[in-house]
């Protein structure tokens, strides 16, 4: 096998493949959230400040939601928790769609936040525990690709329904949540969780006392803050540069397409041989390059190239980081470990709009993206120094290193 060839991969377990399909179905409808503030302003006469506050409260609500998802996954089972979360999201979205007052709409938004992240820890735990260590990076990378593929279809549906009535966005999102819940309920086997609070050896599972996990959580939160700038602040940054708002959708589509099409890269021998700290450092160098492109680019082709480079880094991060967290967890505790790590996204969703808009308003787009790129370089250095190696995955990397010359 040559150095640039793609290693032949074992097929993923049926459970994981069904979960990936369900994620695509669910993601197809996940376009209502960006329109929450628009609906509150248009239908209920709220000010922009009020709408922004509601959005921030939603972000805060996702933090206990994520923690509850991990706890429930390890106590009542993964499948049950996923179905519960999806049905809760559907109920909240229908409440928002049917709201006749601002109070009703805000209540629906808070309930949506409390149900929104119940799905993630158990679904990630299923992936981490259903595949052998050597396949975890690939499986989590495909999970990211499923989100991206569904997101591309979601954008098209949002464009169609948004011209009709914003409330139908929430109705459609609720329908896809229920369809996903039904698929999970019928297709996934019922799992039997470990006894509450203990792993298979009877040792208490306490993620917040695991220093290795807390270190990964710290760097993961910094990454999530940067990542959210490319979602929440990018449209404002383009407008400030005098570029068409339509560019935002094109950049999001280019990023999603790159995530899907670049999946074979994670199976290249040189990528598989990288240790976890080395892979995360390389990923953040790519992220820095993409953000530098955003700082310097003034044309659509340059912006599209920057989005593609950023997405390559994002692909490496998502596959490796969730595999690392799963590997750090004791048996039966991956749901809670993934939940604690996942709070990084709730923190980012709350802080990123404030930090991004302040930088944009006070210093401009070039400084915004240059600052984010510099933070990525700092994180690349930190990963090499403080990120633990994932024992199982890095042993696999060594095994692959020995395999490659034999297959040449």
In order, the DSSP letters of 175-235 are HHHHHHHHHHHHHSPPP-PPPTTB-TTS-B--GGG-HHHHHHHHHHHHHHHHHHIIIIIHH
**Is 2 within the bounds of a domain?**
no
Q: Are residues 17 and 153 in the same domain?
A: yes
**Domain holding 273: CATH number?**
1.20.1250.20
* pLDDT score, position 59: 80
User: What is the C-alpha to C-alpha distance for residues 40 and 77, in angstroms, rounded to an integer?
Assistant: 36
Judge whether 216 and 328 are in contact, CB under 8 Å.
yes
Residue-wise pLDDT tens digits, 209-224:
888 999 999 999 999 9
Task: Among 191, 220, 240, identify where a domain stops.
Answer: 191
**Is 349 within the bounds of a domain?**
yes
Q: Are residues 233 and 163 in the same domain?
A: no
**Tokens linked to 259:** 């995530």
Q: Are residues 146 and 285 in the same domain?
A: no
Q: Residue 295: count other Cβ atoms within 10 Å of its Cβ.
A: 19
**Is 199 within the bounds of a domain?**
no
**Is 3 within the bounds of a domain?**
no
Task: Among 191, 224, 242, identify where a domain stops.
Answer: 191
The total number of structural domains that make up the chain: 2
Q: Are residues 398 and 270 in the same domain?
A: yes
Q: Are residues 379 and 249 in the same domain?
A: yes
- Collapsing DSSP to helix, strand or coil, 154 comes out as helix
Task: Among 191, 226, 249, identify where a domain stops.
Answer: 191
Q: Are residues 312 and 183 in the same domain?
A: no
* pLDDT score, position 202: 43
At 260, phi and psi to the nearest 5? -75, -50
| CA dihedral over 50, 52, 56, 57, signed as positive or negative | positive
Reported as a pLDDT band with limits 50, 70 and 90, residue 134 is confident
Helices 120-130, 300-328: crossing angle, 10 deg rounding: 70
**Vertex 185, ends 183 and 190: CA angle to 5°?**
135
* pLDDT score, position 195: 57
**Domain interval for residue 216:** 207-408
pTM higher than 0.85: no
Q: Are residues 211 and 236 in the same domain?
A: yes
Judge whether 101 and 44 are in contact, CB under 8 Å.
yes
Residue-wise pLDDT tens digits, 237-289:
887 888 886 687 788 888 888 988 888 887 788 878 889 999 999 999 999 99
Residue-wise pLDDT tens digits, 339-349:
899 889 888 87
pLDDT higher than 50, residue 18: yes
Q: Are residues 178 and 224 in the same domain?
A: no
* pLDDT score, position 408: 36
**Is 178 within the bounds of a domain?**
yes
Mean pLDDT of the chain: 81
**Is 53 within the bounds of a domain?**
yes
User: What is the C-alpha to C-alpha distance for residues 16 and 131, in angstroms, rounded to an integer?
Assistant: 8
Q: Are residues 26 and 158 in the same domain?
A: yes
Judge whether 250 and 155 are in contact, CB under 8 Å.
no
pLDDT higher than 70, residue 79: yes
**Is 1 within the bounds of a domain?**
no
* pLDDT score, position 267: 78
- Collapsing DSSP to helix, strand or coil, 331 comes out as coil
Comparing C-alpha atoms, which of 132, 65, 72 is closest to residue 396? 132
Q: Are residues 172 and 234 in the same domain?
A: no
Q: Are residues 273 and 327 in the same domain?
A: yes
**Vertex 117, ends 387 and 371: CA angle to 5°?**
50
* pLDDT score, position 358: 83
**Is 197 within the bounds of a domain?**
no
pLDDT higher than 90, residue 201: no
Q: Are residues 286 and 160 in the same domain?
A: no
pLDDT higher than 60, residue 401: no
Total residues found in the chain within this entry: 408
């Amino acid at each position: 096998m040559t150095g640039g060839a793609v290693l032949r991969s074992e097929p993923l377990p049926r459970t994981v493949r069904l979960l990936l399909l369900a994620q695509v179905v669910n993601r197809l409808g996940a376009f209502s959230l960006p329109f929450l503030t628009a609906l509150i302003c248009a239908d209920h006469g709220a000010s922009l400040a009020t709408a922004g506050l509601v959005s921030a409260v939603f972000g805060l609500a996702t933090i206990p939601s994520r923690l509850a998802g991990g706890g429930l996954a390890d106590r009542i089972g993964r499948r049950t928790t996923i179905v519960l979360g999806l049905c809760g999201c559907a109920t909240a979205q229908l409440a928002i769609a049917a709201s006749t007052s601002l109070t009703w709409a805000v209540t629906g938004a808070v309930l949506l936040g409390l149900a929104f992240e119940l799905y993630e820890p158990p679904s990630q735990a299923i992936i981490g525990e259903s595949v052998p260590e050597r396949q975890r990076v690939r499986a989590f990378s495909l999970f990211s690709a499923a989100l991206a593929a569904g997101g591309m279809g979601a954008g098209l549906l949002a464009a169609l329904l948004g011209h009709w009535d914003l409330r139908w966005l929430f109705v459609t999102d609720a329908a896809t949540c229920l369809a996903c819940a039904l698929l999970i309920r019928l297709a996934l086997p019922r799992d039997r969780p470990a006894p509450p609070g203990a792993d298979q050896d009877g040792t208490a599972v306490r993620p917040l006392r695991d220093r290795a996990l807390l270190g990964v959580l710290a760097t993961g939160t910094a990454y999530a803050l940067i990542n959210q700038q490319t979602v929440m602040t990018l449209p404002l940054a383009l407008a400030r540069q005098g570029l068409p708002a339509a560019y935002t959708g094109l950049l999001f589509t280019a990023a999603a397409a790159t995530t899907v099409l670049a999946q074979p890269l994670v199976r290249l021998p040189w990528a598989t041989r990288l240790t976890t700290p080395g892979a995360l450092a390389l990923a953040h160098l790519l992220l820095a390059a993409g953000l530098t492109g955003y700082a310097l680019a003034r044309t659509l082709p340059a912006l599209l190239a920057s989005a593609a480079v950023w997405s390559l880094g994002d692909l490496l991060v998502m596959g490796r980081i969730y595999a690392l967290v799963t590997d750090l967890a004791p048996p039966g505790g991956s749901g809670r470990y993934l939940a604690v790590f996942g709070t990084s996204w709730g923190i980012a969703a709350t802080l990123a709009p404030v930090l991004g808009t302040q930088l944009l308003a006070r210093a401009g787009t070039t400084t915004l993206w240059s600052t984010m790129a510099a933070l990525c370089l700092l994180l690349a250095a930190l990963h090499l120094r403080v990120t633990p190696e994932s024992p199982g995955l890095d042993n696999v990397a060594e095994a692959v290193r020995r395999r490659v010359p034999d297959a040449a």
